[in-house]
Structure 1
Amino acid sequence: MDKFVFLFLACILAGFALIKLPLAGSPLASIEPITFFIGILTILVFSLVLIFKGIMALAGK
């Protein structure tokens, strides 16, 4: 098993945490759209990497 798989899963969970981050009512409320976008981007990128690694493992490479 690849040693980075759990790191990729942790990055996907961190992306979900960024999406659900409650910033309303705090001084950081203005950057909430940025954290939402970074969370979505993180989830997409690392999910695609995991899918690619799964396909490569099935192909035997």
Structure 2
Amino acid sequence: MNLDSNKTSKTSEKMKTVKAAWDKAPSGSKKDDALKHYQAAEKAHKAKNDSDANRELDAASRILG
């Protein structure tokens, strides 16, 4: 596995973790804000921009935390 695919794999796992936390979160403005960051992370991940995806996932995690 090369370095880029390893980063992508870690980002994919992080996305699963954040999505699971989002699924369990109670409805409200925090959940809505976290969803915006998660969706931005999905877009960045599809564009193969793992640094932006991870930054957005971190923001979503902080909101849900």
Normalised TM-score (structure 2): 0.47
Choose 1 or 2 for highest CA Rg.
1
Structure (1/2) with the larger helix percentage = 2
